[in-house]
Amino acid sequence: MTGPVNVGLLMFIAHRAMEQRVLDAIAAAGYDDVTVAQARILQRIAPDGSRLTDLAEQAQITKQSAAFLVDQLEKAGYVERVPDPSDARARLIRFAERGLEAIPVAAAVAAQVEEEWGRHLGAQKMRQLRAALTLLREITDPYA
CB 50 within 8 A of CB 93: yes
CB 31 within 8 A of CB 102: yes
Give tens-digit pLDDT for 61-104.
999 999 999 999 999 999 999 999 999 899 999 999 999 999 99
Domain residue spans of the chain? 23-140
Is residue 67 within a helix (H) or strand (E), and if so which, with residue range?
Answer: helix 63-75
**Inter-CA distances, 120 with 89, 116, 134, Å:** 50, 6, 20
| pLDDT, position 18 | 97
23-140 belongs to CATH 1.10.150.20 = no
CB 44 within 8 A of CB 58: yes
| pLDDT, position 144 | 77
